[in-house]
Structure 1
Amino acid sequence: MNAPILQSYLAGHWFGTEPAQPLLDAASGAVIAHTHAGQGDFEAALHHARSSGVRGLLELDFQQRAALLKSLARYLSEHKERLYEWSLYTGATRNDGWIDIEGGIGTLFAYAGMGSQELPAGNVVHEGPVVQLGKQGHFAGSHILVPREGVAVHIDAFNFPVWGLLEKFAPSFLAGMPCIAKPATATSYLTWALVRLMLDSGLLPEGCLQLVVGSTGDLLDRLQGQDAVTFTGSAATAARLRGNPRLLERGVPFNAEADSLNSAILGPDVEQGDAEFELFAREVVREMRVKAGQKCTAIRRILVPRRHLQALAASLGAKLGALRIGDPRLPEVQMGPLASKEQQRDVGEALARLRACCDTVFDGSAQASWAGVGAEQGAFFAPTLLACERPAEMAAVHEVEVFGPVSTLMPYDELDEALALAARGQGSLVATLATRDPQTAATAVRRAAVHHGRILVLDEEAAKESTGHGSPLPSLKHGGPGRAGGGEELGGMRAVAHYLQRSAVQGSPTMLAAVLGEYVRGARRIETEVHPFRRHFEELRVGESLLTHRRTVTEADIVNFGCLSGDHFYMHFDDIAARQSPFGQRIAHGYFVLSAAAGLFVSPAPGPVLANYGLDTLRFIKPVRIGDTIQARLTCKRKTDRRKTDAQGRGQGVVAWDVEVRNQEDELVASYDILTLVAKREQGVS
């Protein structure tokens, strides 16, 4: 292979033509790329992002950016084999690469879907509810989230060069924030290949993605209060970066996801022969094998009831001994090398510190023979299983992390002891509890949650679909307290909100409605003679409102609805019991009121409204009695153009309608939003 020079992409140009540091194939030690000499102009890069990048992203809205993420994910899926080719040099097997590459692309798809479903067709997110601040309803307030007009600097670790960038890029892009990505140098060639693909797609607005290969120089020293920094890596490096004077002075948000001493606890109720015993052993071995244990979520401490220590050690040793280790290009290989010779040295030094207070239960190096030509030059490290008989007395096992295929067994006598030992890690990203007993799970999770960012409760049922201990998911937060960095990544819209600025807005309902882009009760309405259900999506205006005719509720209504629905609750049919209740008399079914209101405001003839697919915020405020007269008001609250079409190619959007149902005293008896799919006018039709 002709080793390329990995250039940085800054201020719209590729930079760096002279070779600097050689980067090696983890399996053979061959040179496969070079970083570039010299340092780019970071002031120019930041200006480019804050001007062209911000402008290009904010010319789009949340829905459009979500659609671009989906298109980008599809493009990367079509060209992913180029990434797999580079991934082999990191020491990753095909399965390891799948987690990194498919996991990263899947994260793009996930955020595209979440953005399409949950975000508005604009650049203001209403984080409700609206709060009435004045007694007469003329003054109100709420919260909004808006894009920060700055730059997100994403600093990633070496172990997941694709997923590490994409899981940060997806929410920041969706939030409308350009980013500068800084991958770890050792495996930067894979991130470089990824960024080249992303830029070659032609889908990304200019300035929204830049790449730094090598040192960040004075980049962090140039950041402003609108910028943000995310970091994945060691706890020590996270602490150093977090303390940057510029970040502290300007209040730059800093999110860290740091390596931690994650635990797995075999519950006290599990016995040998139980499915959970075998599942637990497999999970531990998988976390030692995948990426050769180079995962921030990998299991470092294995807490096991003392009576099962020997049996579990034997099971783990047998499974580890059966692993085929070598060049990841070989189909029979299950575990490849570490990412670099430097990593190999670090793992060896850390392991030596643990061996000073632990016994060696399984030493893979005693039977090591790496598969593949030239493997002796690679960064291989044999899986090693240790045991610490007195974990409460040995501080090192709770402080020293070996970032490789090494884990330590620790016996315990009571569940309280196991939870205390897990907490000795001073905060971690994830813990696993294998148990058959729901009460054990309830007790342990409540107490362990304060120390762990995520907890997997593993039993035979969950194992049928579980993604495993070490797999962060886009919809759930990834991060942890204390040593784990105190940050949160992923977590669905929580991650997007990290790149948005929250602001409280106060004013009249009319002004709030204009700011929020949605109708607020008390705001000026647009009264219309045309039924809102007769308007196509693009014709409908937020605030357009219909006041319906009235309907008096009769005893026959209640009886007929009860017979139709099968709901014969005493409050609707037992006159004596109803008189003895706080209501003093029989009342109508809440769902009858809902149905009657629909009958009042629905336009029955075929029209642009295609389907009603949900209710939000439904509340029954006051009872409706026999003889009460109800009236409904239907108001267009919010429009979301998701830019989708049906099977016939007709465009459609989502409309949320505010519904108020009031009685003859003008008292609110029911309140809710309905969601409808509304067709757009066909092109050429007027």
Structure 2
Amino acid sequence: MGLINVHSYLGGRWLPADEGARPIASAVTGEPLAMAGQATLDTAGMIAHARNKGGPGLRAMSFHDRARMLKALALELSNHKDELYALSHTTGATTADAKIDVDGGIATLMVYASKGRRELPDGHILVEGDLEMLSRGGSFVGQHVATPLRGVAVHINAFNFPVWGMLEKLAPALLAGMPAIVKPATATCHVTEQCVRRMIGSGLLPEGAVQLVSGGLGDLLDRLDYQDVVGFTGSAQTALMLRSSRHLLENSVRFVAEQDSLNASVLGPDVTQDSPEFEILVKEVVREMTAKAGQKCTAIRRILVPEALMGPVGDAIAAKLGTIRIGDPALETTRMGALASAAQKSDVREKATRIAAECRRLTGDPDRYEVDGADPERGAFVAPMLFACDDPDAGDAVHAVEAFGPVATLMPYRDLAHAGRLMNRGKGSLVASLITHDPAVARALILDAAASHGRIYVNNRDSAREATGHGSPLPHMIHGGPGRAGGGEELGGIRGVMHYMQLTAVQGSPDIISAITGTWIKGAAQPKSPAHPFTRTFDELAIGETIEAGPRTVTLEDIEHFAHFTGDTFYAHMDEEAAKANPFFPGRVAHGYLLLSFAAGLFVEPSPGPVLANTGLDGLKFMKPVSPGDAISVRLTVKRKTRRTDEYGEVRWHVAVLNQDGEDVAEYELHTMNAYRA
């Protein structure tokens, strides 16, 4: 079998590796495997292709169109998982490791597809936050809105997750409407290339939405401007070099980094050797040391335990590590494969030597270990190494040196405050974990350590069955951290999407803001509906159209009947003297939920029609009490519309309940599902 020629996909064409290519060796055998890279790149053409083709193509789609695209891409990649697993073996990843990478990336696409449909509008402008009233009379208001940047996202990814690392950046960028140029690490770029081939071949992406550089970026970063974004995952040293570029600084190019992290796991002071939490910690540590051969930015590097448990914890972890079979990742019996490259093996051994200078080695002889089905000298294999640092206050390397492999250090703490100080000596981490069954311990440690960590994972006997693991970043929540971890937020639900959008304060009249956002706001026009809105389909309803109904007089008999019928005999509804003594009421008043029921009775059209269901309400406020003898009316306005399925969409209505003097007594947002026009 010849060498794999790893192509780039640039300007709508697949370009083979040429005389500028670099060799890639198999992590298992050390033999030449592939060639990747081009001698020259048309970087100006790449950027123009993204800006002039990819950007307009994506921005022409609504948020929901782009969300549907992400889901379709995820389903397409799901059909090709096995080939990606097999190719991943050449990078040292076992099938279980490859599943973390491939399945994790696909799941991230699915989560962003779902969040895009549920949390973003079926339009092109994202409203951020509440409307701001900028004038006393309400004729001048402000709204923050987000729109896609008009540049390109350049994603520079690490070697350890050639699929997930790409897709976790692509998902929020594409959902935002921004094209991307992906640059994977050369050591594992042949896996990324195969994934991109399947995505491009699906025909689901607009032309120019995704480009792939297999090799060096040339002068690409020197051509970016303020509309572009650089997303980086890798070492702090490389991140510093890139983000310090004079060109990036002068042009205020957004730079999002996810970098080194000396993550810690803490065993709570409430845990004993017989507690379920003891075994939970041991399992978490062993999994994080051996999954992906410890090549995870979220892996546990420091293990903090009460002084009395140093021996038992060390013995338990060492015993489990002793059962781990190292070998060819293609073998079913292999539990831990190789590191990604010979260079990575050399780096891990050098960093482990620095840690060993101030620690005791508990397990993992760097020169004596068995490897199944492969030559340990030719392949990038290392044994899991567990160290013990008996004086972590004096230790320096254990809090500063990250061996990016199956290496972790056990250390004691005296009390919870001491544990917090040791955690924070990492100077900023992506994640820390706390294994405790005591809520007070969790709260105290969060107060001490949260400022230095992007995520804190708390696990115990109650959550262990469903907990996702210390080292598993989830697309719903922040993946990033302060300080040495980079200061970024690569994921985090819609927060991640906002990296690729510009937040703008728009000011104007209610009619202007309503037209811009596609959402009716107070003070904007409310044209009378040409027919009862509940008889009009989703397509026929217009934003702002309104129906007014009423009045209905609320009687004392209504209040008493409602009280006895529901069992709500609260004194404000039933006792005149007690109600008068309350500073909020002039005497007996109507139930708030009675008013909602009467309002529904005023605006509901009872006949079968396009309204399929009432699915809830938001933002209910009672603003003024209603006394017996008051008359209420209701004003129902179409506030927002969102397509949901092929059969129906969601309509959100602003409901205002008014008294006989035209004063608001209650308001809320009603949700209905409405059929489309037949």
Q: Which residue of 1 aligns with 2:627?
A: 625
Q: C-alpha distance in 2, partners of 1:122/1:426?
A: 42
Could you tell me which of 676, 679, 685 is aligned with 2:672?
676
Shift of 1:127: 1.5
Contact 2:306 / 2:412 at 8 angstroms: preserved in 1? yes
Q: Which residue identity does 1:639 align to in structure 2? A: K
- Structure 1 CA distance, aligned partners of 2:374 and 2:341? 17
Q: What pairs with 1:543-622 in structure 2 (closer than 5 Å)?
A: 543-582=544-583, 583-622=585-624
User: Could you tell me whether the CA contact under 8 Å between 1:259 and 1:297 is conserved in 2?
Assistant: no
Cα distance in 2, alignment partners of residues 551 and 131 from structure 1: 33
1:16 alignment partner AA: P
Counterpart CA distance in 2 for 1:99 and 1:439 is: 33
Q: What is the distance in 1 between the residues matched to 2:15 and 2:220?
A: 16
Does structure 1 residue 358 correspond to structure 2 residue 354?
A: no
- Kept in 1, the 8 Å contact 2:176–2:500? The answer is yes
Q: C-alpha separation between the residues in 2 aligned to 1:315 and 1:79?
A: 39
Q: Where do residues 292-307 of structure 1 align in structure 2 (5 Å cutoff)?
A: 292-307=293-308
Displacement after TM superposition at 1:128 (Å): 3.3
Residue of structure 2 aligned with 1:664, choices 644, 651, 660: 660
CA distance, structure 2, for counterparts of residue 144 and residue 299 of structure 1: 39
- Shift, 1:366, TM fit: 6.5
CA distance 1:265–1:466, shift in 2 (3 Å): same
The corresponding residue for 2:525 is: 524
Q: How far apart, CA to CA, are the structure 1 residues paired with 2:448 and 2:565?
A: 49
Deviation at residue 311 of structure 1 after TM alignment: 0.6
Unpaired stretches in structure 2, ≥5 consecutive residues: none
Partner of 2:419: 418
Q: Is the CA contact (8 Å cut-off) linking 2:538 and 2:677 kept in structure 1?
A: yes
Match of 2:72 in 1: 71
- Per-residue CA deviation, residues 151-174 of structure 1 (Å, 9 max, x unaligned), is 011111000110001011001000
What is the aligned residue count?
676
CA displacement at 1:448 relative to structure 2: 1.2
Residues 61-210 of structure 1 aligned to structure 2 (within 5 Å): 61-210=62-211
Aligned partners of 2:37 and 2:262: how far apart in 1? Answer: 35
For residue 393 of structure 1, give the secondary structure of its aligned residue in structure 2: coil
What letter is aligned with 1:629?
A: A
Q: Which residue of 1 aligns with 2:640?
A: 638
Q: Is the CA contact 1:398–1:425 (under 8 Å) kept in the aligned structure 2?
A: yes
CA distance in 2 between partners of 1:602 and 1:272 (Å): 63
For 2:6, the aligned partner's letter is L
Which of 611-620 and 461-470 deviates more?
611-620
Distance 1:561 1:366, change over 3 A: farther
Other-structure match for 1:504: 505
Q: Alpha-carbon deviation of 1:63?
A: 0.7
For 2:200 and 2:299, the matched residues in 1 are separated by 32
Q: Is the 8 A contact 1:637 1:655 kept in 2?
A: yes
CA contact (8 A) 2:86 2:95 kept: no
Give me the whole-angstrom Cα distance separating, in 2, the residues matched to 1:573 and 1:59: 59
- SS of the aligned residue for 1:57 comes to helix
Give 1:528 deviation, angstroms. 2.2
Q: Could you say what secondary structure the match of 1:131 adopts?
A: strand
Cα distance in 1 for residues equivalent to 2:620 and 2:2 = 64
Contact 2:526 2:544 in 1 (8 A): yes
**SS of 2:464 mapped into structure 1:** helix
Q: In the alignment, is the contact (CA less than 8 A) between 1:388 and 1:410 conserved in 2?
A: yes
Name the residue aligned to 1:342: 343
**In structure 2, how many angstroms separate the alpha carbons of the residues matched to 1:549 and 1:201?**
56
- Which amino acid is 1:622 matched to? K
Match of 2:57 in 1: 56
Point out the more displaced range, 210-219 or 17-26.
Answer: 17-26
Residues 217-296 of structure 1: pairs in structure 2 closer than 5 A: 217-296=218-297
Q: Is the 8 A contact 1:39 1:215 kept in 2?
A: no
Name 1:648's counterpart in structure 2.
none
Provide the C-alpha distance between the structure 2 equivalents of 1:47 and 1:262, rounded to a whole number of angstroms.
Answer: 40
State the distance in 1 between where 2:436 and 2:71 align: 39
Q: CA deviation at 1:17?
A: 4.2
Aligned to 1:397: 398
User: Counterparts of 1:257 and 1:17 in 2: how far apart (Å)?
Assistant: 29
- Once residues 334 and 461 of structure 1 are traced to their aligned partners in structure 2, the CA distance between those partners, rounded to angstroms, is 28
Answer with 659-668 or 321-330: which moved more. Answer: 659-668
SS across alignment from 2:206: coil
Give me the whole-angstrom Cα distance separating, in 2, the residues matched to 1:668 and 1:364: 76
Query: Aligned AA for 1:28?
Result: T
- Contact 1:360–1:384 under 8 Å retained in 2: yes
Q: Which amino acid aligns with 1:637?
A: K
In the alignment, the residues of structure 2 paired with residue 355 and residue 201 of structure 1 have an alpha-carbon distance, to the nearest angstrom, of 50
Two-structure CA RMSD over aligned residues (Å): 1.2
CA contact 1:611–1:676 (8 Å) conserved in 2: yes
What is the alpha-carbon distance in structure 1 between the residues aligned to residue 55 and residue 280 of structure 2?
A: 48
- Of the structure 1 ranges 355-364 and 62-71, higher mean CA displacement relative to structure 2 is found in 355-364
Deviation sequence 1:434-469 (CA, Å, 0-9, x none): 111111111111221101100011110110100000
In 1, Cα distance between the equivalents of 2:608 and 2:46? 55
CA contact (8 A) 1:297 1:470 kept: yes
- CA–CA distance in structure 2, aligned partners of residues 343 and 528 of structure 1: 68
For residues 239-285 of structure 1, what are the alpha-carbon distances to aligned partners after superposition, in whole Å with 9 as ceiling and x for unaligned?
11111111111111111111200000111110001000010011011
Letter in 1 for 2:613: A
Maintained 8 Å contact 1:62/1:120: yes
* Contact 1:655-1:678 at 8 Å conserved across structures: yes
- Check conservation: 1:327, 1:375, Cα contact below 8 A: no
Which whole-Å CA distance do the structure 1 matches of 2:667 and 2:417 have between them? 48
Q: Is the 8 A contact 2:261 2:298 kept in 1?
A: yes
* Shift of residue 37, structure 1, vs aligned partner: 3.4
Q: Which moved more, 1:74-83 or 1:399-408?
A: 74-83
Q: Is the 8 A contact 2:5 2:34 kept in 1?
A: yes
TM-score by length of 2: 0.98
Give per-residue Cα distances to partners, 1:167-219, cap 9 Å, x unaligned: 11001000000000011111111111111111011100000000011111111
Q: Secondary structure at the match of 1:76?
A: helix
Measured in 2, the distance between the counterparts of 1:366 and 1:233 equals: 28
Query: Matched residues in 2 for 1:258 and 1:145: separation?
Result: 27
- Secondary structure at the residue paired with 2:600? helix
Secondary structure at the counterpart of residue 331 of structure 1: coil
Cα displacement (A) at 1:384:
0.5
Q: Provide, for residues 613-643 of structure 1, a one-character-per-residue CA deviation record: whole Å limited to 9, x for no partner.
A: 121222111222222211111111111123x
- Equivalent-residue separation in structure 1 for 2:444 and 2:228 (angstroms): 41
Contact 2:304 2:410 in 1 (8 A): yes
Please tell me whether the aligned partners of residues 507 and 513 of structure 2 are also in contact (alpha carbons under 8 angstroms). yes
Q: Which residue of 1 aligns with 2:31?
A: 30
- Per-residue deviation, 1:392: 0.6
Letter matched to residue 614 of structure 2? N
Q: List runs of 5+ in structure 1 lacking aligned partners.
A: 646-650
CA contact 1:15–1:40 (8 Å) conserved in 2: no
Aligned counterpart, 2:516? 515
The answer (yes or no) to whether the contact 2:327–2:374 under 8 Å persists in 1 is no
**Distance in 2 (alpha carbons) for counterparts of 1:9 and 1:489:** 24
The alignment-based identity, stated in percent, is 52
Q: CA deviation at 1:365?
A: 4.2
Partner of 1:368: 369
Q: Tell whether the 8 Å contact from 2:370 to 2:376 is kept in structure 1 after alignment.
A: no
Q: State the distance in 1 between where 2:518 and 2:213 align.
A: 38
Supply the AA of the counterpart residue of 1:601: F
